[in-house]
Copies of this chain bind each other. A is one copy, B any other.
Amino acid sequence: MSSRKRSNPLALAVLICLFERPMHPYEVAATLRQRHKQESLRLNYGSLYAVVASLEKRGLIAPQATMREGRLPERTVYAVTESGKIEAHDWMTELVSTPVNDYPSFEAALSFLPALPPGDVVDLLEERAMHLKVELARAGATRELNEKAQLPRLFWVEDEFRVALREAEFDYVRRLIAEIKSGAFDGLEWWTEIHASTESQGTEATPTGKARR
């Protein structure tokens, strides 16, 4: 009934925070930031207040009280409604059970790979690999801190998952580099050729290929 627009997971975050106790939007943001959710969620004020307004319009949350302290702007405290609880539950169910395409930008980049000459690509991939290595090292350190602080794994599965994906990405990038360098990469001759004339831009040669499938 109310699954009209389930785009922004920030709305789910709000619902779940208000599930714990009524809060005002800024407090929700502070809570999320304190729990490091800004690494898994696009958290910024413009979206936050927009999302809160939308949730209210859809009857998933309701203002409980508006108070003000001194001459500071009003704080509107919201509470989650019954249908809000149901929506949060359904949304979680969907998110966990059903994979979706998130269109990672590196995938897009790979799909345009022929646009750059293979030599440049190798250098850029090597740079990416380095960045990934650094990121993984930092993640490992954070993980150790979490363990030392006795923070149960339940509260950092999302980091663990991110690391798993990044490791897979790292492996893939390394393999790709190796194969291009070795010359064994299928399509390399054509790829080299279309970038042969110019130093670093090939204004020619459509990668027509044969119509796929």
Contact = CB atoms under 8 A, between A and B. Distances in A.
A88 interface: yes
Contact of A9 (B105, B155, B161, B171): B105
A103 B41 contact: yes
B112 A151 contact: no
A185 B157 CA distance: 11
A9 B108 contact: yes
A18 to B, nearest CB: 11
| Contact size range, A | 35 or more
Most buried by B among A114, A154, A209: A154
B203 A19 contact: yes
- Copies of this chain: 2
B103 A212 contact: no
Interface in A1-27: 9, 12-13, 16, 19-21
B172 A161 contact: yes
Contacts of A201: 85, 89
B102 A146 contact: no
Interface in A98-148: 98-116, 120-121, 124-125, 127-128, 131-132, 135, 145-146
Contacts of A100: 105
Contacts of A167: 168
Interface in A142-184: 145-146, 149-155, 157-158, 160-162, 164-169, 171-172, 176
Nearest to A175: B164
B41 A108 contact: yes
A57 interface: no
12 contacts: A12-B112, A35-B209, A40-B107, A95-B109, A96-B113, A97-B131, A99-B106, A99-B131, A100-B105, A153-B186, A154-B186, A155-B187
